[in-house]
Structure 1
């Protein structure tokens, strides 16, 4: 049986495809206050405006392509059992060819009822407009985990990380909880790699291999290491 690789990815892996990262811009995301477009407070205040913000994001991801880092992760499936746990709401992992992807914070290409969290529909890259309703008659909202909301996929993600023979962290500083706590579930004897051009902010860096590169070059380098062993 092939070793299992678990990849924890964040916004940095999609940055080289042209998608802006959520943080590192003074609380603004392409000119928008993230607290106004990623919270129930913002939704209640201006649902149409919030919908249009995510419509723009959806149009944006439709125009970009997976980069070499996404593709290198997908290509690892040729030799390994690969599971991706991503904080990203784009679909670039799937479009690169990864077949097991868990989205911690939801997916831009899906919508759900404001009343029933489990009433989820695929919308692709189409807009959601105010007045568009789910099957239960309630307004559709983006299938995104907003600030202050529970992250329902954390337990399943923890179970996946606990099966890792090899753990890869890429595109995330892992300082935001609850996602940051996932690394603690990796088995003690697992091999651990982090791809980051900067020094990682992990509280315990023991037993980690640091590839100090951006996502594309770093992930391609790591693929070479793993497939040549």
Structure 2
């Protein structure tokens, strides 16, 4: 393994983006801390043992080496911050996982560097803000060309499953001087080719987003549970 390549860079953001791509693939496109599937643009490079921990610690290994790096989502990175020494067993477990993936990360990095032009274009697409109309338009135009290449050379990719996070995030509620935070409705869905076609029919034909459908089902289930709880309470009261 080449230690110069497979390490975090303090000077090159391009290198770190390639490294993040290599890490993301090696870790199965998941945040290593919560183990939830995430899109590439939702992930960052995390130092498992932080470089500047709030608590003094003596490290006997290279903190910037790939054995101490993993992809993490923004919320987990905030939560973890530099407090990981309070959870030493968990940190040691994650370090073992990182060490087991180190060679795969290096191989991925070498593969991506064989054609840096294509890799940089793909990185730009995956990190683009698709909510921006100009960016979305450019991706759509380029996508038509790329799809032709995929159909002729890599048709299996078009039917490959992918994971989408449909989690509903609830804002905090202020009531009588106190703040209440509802639990987020977590919905992580793996879609194969057939499922994606169903989602397209839902959205384009019926005008029903998959996120709305999941929220509706979740609210119905919650309502049934609350109703059962009311029945149990009433029965217990008058028993």
TM range (shorter): under 0.3
Higher helix proportion, which one? 2
Higher RCO, 1 or 2 (CA under 8 Å, sep at least 6)?
Answer: 1
Higher strand proportion, which one? 1
Which of these two proteins has the greater Rg computed from alpha carbons?
2
